[in-house]
Amino acid sequence: MVAALKLKSSVKPKNYWVLKSKLLLSYNNDKSPRASREEIVDMSYPKVNDEEITRRGKELYEKSIRTQVETPENIGKIISINVETGEYEIGDDLVVTSLRLRAKQADAAVWAEKIGFNAVYAVGGTLVRTA
């Protein structure tokens, strides 16, 4: 997210930033561009709400993915599912599996589960084995 600062006076600070087509350009007071440029990370968001992501994720996992992935070697691993396409990634780390899906589709609606357990992580409780 890029925040814009509205200046109340016509006097510009020594250096100010202007957003220009995914590039953040730094300008000096004389409006000459500085040599350095920084790319802005495009933050994309899913098109569906959280409840719908959860519903679709559970449905996909139970109906079409569970039988394929719940094998002894995958128990305890993380599965991240793109609920719009049905694609999934399996690994040991939630962030890594989610980023792999986001690399394919930046605005992917991702739902995750720990294979063979009732939750991905437990805070103040215990994970219950389901498989």
Q: How many CB atoms lie within 10 A of CB 25?
A: 15
Contacts with 9 (C-beta within 8 Å, 6 or more apart), sequence order:
none
pTM of the model: 0.63
Q: What is the pLDDT of residue 45?
A: 62
pLDDT tens sequence across 70-122: 999 999 999 999 999 999 999 999 999 999 999 998 888 999 999 999 888 88
